[in-house]
Amino acid sequence: MNLLEGIRNDALDFGQPVSLYRSTGREVDWIGSLQDTIFHCNAYLLRSGKQTYLIDPGGREHFPQVRDRVSKLMKPSEVTHIIVHHQDPDLCASIPLWLEINPGITVLTHSRAAVLLPHYGFPSERVTPIDGGQFTLAEGELHFIPAPFLHFPGAFATYDTTTGFLFSGDIFAALSSDWKLAVENLDEHLGLMELFHIDYMANNRAARGFLDNLGDRRVSAILPQHGSIIRQADVGAAFSWLRELPCGLDIIYAD
Ligand SMILES: [Fe+2]
Ligand SMILES: [Fe+2]
């Protein structure tokens, strides 16, 4: 059951993880950290049977909050996988701390990020490159959707066939001094996303290429690493916005 539709931002208890989806064989929670910054970082936990995927877990400063929220759902030592959608420190720098808790964690990322991650200080053997393709879980599949140059050459997003959730990394991220977990007014939120995208995303060609790579997958929500979750009613409009957005080199090298 998609619980996002019933979420009211002003009624959330951030002392706990926030349940986003519950069914037999699939549980998804927001387990990010609260911070006094416009560059707010989200992290997510996806569970399927004995497999547990920590998605974009955050920097070292985020680790205590993220670990404590995970511990309200399961033993942090039982996290089996970490997915990082690119190599930036705001989503990767906590990986060594997670490997101290469970040295057997498998870190999944694109091969271009895989060569960089060991510089955070952990063995390259812990990293498994995934360049597109998919994983079969106890229930459903995870599809890894290439998003080259949004904003890293090897960037990608993760689509969960069971929930229809698109974990989008920095794509659809927003900058805001008044962070909310879920978007309430998309028209206002588009301006906050634009603040981020015009400076970070390569260009409109890259944005359109990513949307084309998504194909006709049914997306029920967009869950970015910064900013707010875009719920089903706004997904189509958010895709249309990205498809038409001039950004990056379109602006810097405009005629
Ligand atoms: Fe980034
Ligand atoms: Fe980021």
Q: Evaluate whether 248 touches 198 at the Cβ level (below 8 Å).
A: yes
Is the pLDDT confidence value at 201 over 90? yes
Q: Residue 59 is part of which domain span?
A: 4-130+141-252
The per-residue pLDDT for range 112-123, each reduced to its tens digit, is 999 999 999 999
Q: Is residue 214 part of a domain?
A: yes
Query: Ligand nearest 152 Cα, by number?
Result: 1
**Is residue 111 in some structural domain?**
yes
Q: How far is the CA of 24 from the centre of ligand 2 (A)?
A: 31
Å from CA of 29 to ligand 1 middle? 21
> Distance, CA 88 to ligand 1 centroid (Å)?
5
Residue 65: inside a domain: yes
The total of structural domains in the chain comes to 1
- The string of pLDDT tens digits covering residues 140-196 is 999 999 999 999 999 999 999 999 999 999 999 999 999 999 999 999 999 999 999
The model carries a pTM of 0.98
What is residue 25's predicted lDDT score, i.e. its pLDDT? Answer: 87
pLDDT band for 15, please (50, 70, 90 cuts).
Answer: confident
Compute the distance from residue 38 Cα to the ligand 2 centre, in Å: 12
Ligand 1 centroid vs 42 CA: distance in angstroms?
12
Cα 24 to ligand 1 centroid, rounded to whole Å:
33
**How far is ligand 1, taken at its centre, from the CA of residue 51, in Å?**
26
62 in a structural domain: yes
**Number of the ligand closest to the Cα of 173:** 2
Residue 136 within a domain:
no
**Is 174 inside a domain boundary?**
yes
- Mean of per-residue pLDDT scores for the chain: 96
Distance 1 CA to ligand 1 centre (A): 30
Q: What is the distance between the alpha carbons of residues 183 and 14, in angstroms, rounded to a whole number?
A: 17
Ligand with an atom nearest the CA of residue 39: 2
Task: For residue 135, tell me if it sits in a domain.
Answer: no
Assigned domain for 16 exists: yes
CATH number at residue 215: 3.60.15.10
